Homo-oligomer: A and B are copies of this chain.
Amino acid sequence: MHEKEYGIINSELIYNGPVKLRLDTFRVNGKIFTKEVVEHNASVGIIPITNNGEIVLIKQYRHAVDEYLIEIPAGKIENEENPIEAAKRELEEETGYRGELTPLTQCYLAPGYDTEMMYLFIAKDICKEDNSLLKDDDENISNMIVKLDDALCYCFNGYIRDCKTITAILLYYTSFNKTK
């Protein structure tokens, strides 16, 4: 692939909020394109593993898709946090657990039009804290503790249908099986 001629002609902010929308006009190899770009903070996702090797997942209602989904705990990095600080906070807010965090990988969720990059972590040696006051008001969340083989099955049969959650479960499963 040769380097292409590329330049931004205009960038218009359409909406400014927790989720932003820009309309960018840019030139590639002499042709002009206009595309929407969704701007979203970088974020974190955590796969918490109990001392029995089970996975702590959460079930929550997602307004955007009008469904209850089963997901790993996750959320956006707030200003001045680094990824591991955000991961500790989200893990505790969403599941009530604390644990030892190790980076797993990082990935874009929808890079065709969305800037969000998610940092994934494994949490081990987890223990439950009494932190019922920490939960975000708009998050009706309940925990589910799931065996690894069941979690894997849910990734294939559509019971889990959140991409970051499938990625995290399969990364953990694959690394677990490689080191056995």
Contact = CB atoms under 8 A, between A and B. Distances in A.
A2 to B, nearest CB: 9
Interface extent on A, as a size class?
Answer: 35 or more
B161 A105 contact: yes
B15 A111 contact: no
Interface string A126-139: 00000000000110
Interface in A154-174: 155-158, 160-164, 166-167, 170-171, 173-174
A65 B110 CA distance: 10
Contacts of A54: none
Nearest to A141: B1
Given A155-B171, A163-B118, A174-B174, A31 B137 contact: yes
A146 interface: no
Contact of A38 (B105, B114, B162, B174): B114
A147 interface: no
A102 interface: no
A88 to B, nearest CB: 19
Interface of A: 1, 4, 6, 14-15, 17-19, 21, 23-24, 26, 28-29, 31, 33, 35-38, 40, 59, 61-65, 67, 69, 71, 74, 105-118, 137-138, 140, 142, 152, 155-158, 160-164, 166-167, 170-171, 173-175, 177
